[in-house]
Structure 1
Amino acid sequence: MSRRLDAGNEKKYLSNALTITIIAVMMSLTAAATAHAQSEERYHADTYQMIVLQHMVSHDQANDVMQALRNAMPRASAYLNPSAQIISINASAADVALAQKIVAEMDKPVRTYRLTYTLTQVEDGKHGVSQRFELVVASGDRADLKQGTRVPIRTGNFNKDSNAKENQIQYMDIGLGIDSRAEGFVDGVKVTSKIAESSVGDEHSSFGGEDPVVHQTELSATSVLPLGKPVVLGSLDVPGTTHRLEVEVTADQVK
């Protein structure tokens, strides 16, 4: 027959149970800390190696390799010289061998693509004159093109000391701008495009009689393109005209 603990015995029982639990947790933490310290003592960073990145074309790609090394070898010391594309590693012999294997797997020749943008004037549904622009970009990198003029814009501020107006000149790019980024896929390429068209209007800003009004339109699109097949990204109004530009892009692998 079970007996119920009185209030005093129950309190004493709970106190003993809590003490035992605290002691067990402390022993577990101490054992874990001891095991970690012993593991650190057993790790010998006695091997130094320099690994040259042969095919990296951007700092982002080299940083990806560094991140992979740090995740795989948290106890190793690894440093990147971005200008020379060299990784210096001080670690155990096993970790150095692992680092060389990881770099060999990631440091592969980067695919390069030729992106051909065709801009065709469309008015009343009829296609007219076309312009073609080619950009060569490595996978994971970007390229940009600008065609047009740089328009000077005069700005001024008041010089309190001489009571004279000081003029400063800023320049604005007017015309066509194409900005592209490519990322290779198994059977195609992912292309992020930004096409902007701008022109200076005949009117002037209401804020200043000499400030020009700039008309601008922009098209941004991300598409996965099959190699060698043109894809229409869209169309945009040409500022100051009555026609539109149809934007088409074709991706071809260069190497």
Structure 2
Amino acid sequence: MLKEAIVTRYVTPLREGGSLPGLVEADDHGTYVLKFTGAGQGRKTLVAEVVAGELARRLGFRVPRLVTLDLDPDLGLGEPDERVQELLKSSGGTNLGMDFLSGALGFDPLAFSVGAREAGRIVWFDALINNVDRSWRNPNLLRWRGEVWLIDHGASMIWQHNWPGAEKSAARPYDASDHVLRPFTPDVAAAAAELAPQVTEDLLAEVTAEIPDVWLADEPGFGSPDELRRTYARPLLARASVVHERIEGIQ
């Protein structure tokens, strides 16, 4: 399971994100970007972050370490920003944190270059998880210590918001025409040959086991968190071997 820590101090909001994540300190002496259960799509966004982030890590991508952060809503009592105060008050309990990469720069395709192999790997991965939020307008990539790091996957796996239509949704093509790495001639075929065989039932079981039970509880139509975990894994397993054939907009 993900490492657990307790938020000890709310430092500042990070206003670049639409969901208004916050910079916090925790009792393990770590500094994290906190994603709130009370923001946006709530816990489903955090589930997507965990599944995509932990899958990416196991496939060899650079992703900030993820932890669960226990938040006392009373931390919001002295916050002057009413929107931040409301987020803190509505997000008591288990939230998501990711390591703060101090000094990291937002990826700029005009300033940084990415090779065809790495571009292909990232495009293939985004197609697998159906990440619609890696465009030139909002790359959700960081440049840190000379390497490209993947962040912010909460908008992926949109089929989780309508489980009865998940199979149909997961079978749709992936539009990469706005992808930030499209100009770098991504070698998707090579990425598929390398990565698709690694996406196995066992690997996905390991990844989905990282999702805290509390974020899976009381989902309509499911009898247990483990049943829902298996449902999260199925579309990814089905997509892995064929998704490279369904990527549009990069030729």
Q: TM-score range by the shorter chain?
A: under 0.3
**Higher-Rg member (1/2):** 1
Which of the two has greater helix per residue? 2
* Greater relative contact order structure (CA < 8 Å, 6+ sep): 2
TM-score by length of 2: 0.20
Which of the two has greater strand per residue? 1
TM-score by length of 1: 0.20
